Amino acid sequence: MQAGRRPQLPVPDPVIVARLRAAGCVFAEEEARLLASAARTPDELDAMVDRRAAGLPIEQVVGWAEFCGLRIAVDPGVFVPRRRTEFLVQQAALLARGDEPFFPPRPPRTVMARPGAVVVDLCCGTGAIAAALAATVDRAEVHAVDIDPAAVACARRNVAGQVYEGDLYEPLPDGLRGRVSILVANVPYVPSGEIGFLPPESRAYEPLVALDGGADGLDVLRRVAAGAPGWLAPGGHLLIETSQRQVPSAEAAFAAGGLITQVASSADLDATVVLGSLSSEAGKDLP
């Protein structure tokens, strides 16, 4: 992972621009520049243009995506981090630092959120969210989980922290129970019946396990929300990205898990995040 300062990109080769444009790439000039800057030899450039023209996401072709100002490694077959997910990171970072996030109305009092907080990224994919939070939250103790071995291998290249392979909370060490200040999850949330409407490059080159959220898209979200109270510290927060349409059902799932729930959206990033906070009094009546 490297800080993402935009390099000076070369002038695009018109032949490559034409090949990309013919393949349906809307940003052909920009992509031609990017590919030329990523390739080490003319043969490699040719192969990259072929792969892009065949429909592979540009991030999987060049091997990285820019996310929250970082260069995140993206391996073939791993979900490409989306720009809208930066909103989830912004909200989580504010909470982790003990600052007010932009949720209307004000969030419940933050007790455990502080620099050095335990941060867990479930369904981490490339680990983009975990990497961004590790870079933003001072001394954060970061853990990340994914069920897909390809994603886990990729996340291990990006995340300065522990990356586990397994189903949601299952591989996390028991010692984290009740200690997690910030739990983030960009779960698969496309309803099964709508997978066919996704862009072809997503359907063909991102795994179904990264996209398909079941009948209403909320199967994984419900399991994350139900399990969260067992892992959150008192006053800790769960943040999950959803679509606007899924908000009522997502809020109900958070509330069923005993979380105090709020919603925030960003029109600029076309992003919606559901926040659930565990009461700062949670667990006080336990023996």
Ligand X SMILES: C[S@@+](CC[C@H](N)C(=O)[O-])C[C@H]1O[C@@H](n2cnc3c(N)ncnc32)[C@H](O)[C@@H]1O
Helix (H) or strand (E) holding 263: strand 260-266
Binding positions for ligand X, 193-222, rule CB under 6 A:
209-210, 220
3-state secondary structure of 221: helix
Looking at beta carbons only, is 20 or 205 nearer to ligand X? 205
Considering only 151, 163, 221, 264, the residue that binds ligand X (CB under 6 A) is: 151
Tell me the CA distances in angstroms from 265 to 89, 132, 274, one per residue in order: 13, 19, 9
Residue 283 CB, nearest distance to ligand X (Å)?
26
CA separation for the pair 82, 211 (Å, rounded): 13
- Tokens coding 239: 């943040």
What are the backbone angles phi and psi of residue 233, rounded to the nearest 5°? -75, 155
Segment lying near ligand X (by CB under 6 A), choices 19-27, 103-111, 139-147, 270-278: 139-147
Q: Does 274 bind ligand X (CB under 6 A)?
A: no
| Least spacing, CB of residue 91 vs ligand X, in Å | 14
* Cβ atoms of 123 and 78 closer than 8 Å: no
Residue carrying the six token digits 């984290």 = 176
Residue choice 73, 147, 225, 238 for contact with ligand X (CB under 6 A): 147
Size of the site for ligand X (CB under 6 A): 22
Site string for ligand X, 67-106 (x = CB under 6 A): ------------x-x---x---------------------
Please report, for residues 21, 55, 135, 185, 254, the alpha-carbon distance to residue 240 in angstroms, rounded to integers and kept in the order given.
36, 29, 20, 5, 10
Among 35, 113, 140, 145, binds ligand X (CB under 6 A): 145
Q: Which residues bind ligand X (CB under 6 A)?
A: 79, 81, 85, 123-126, 128-129, 145-148, 151, 167-168, 186-188, 209-210, 220
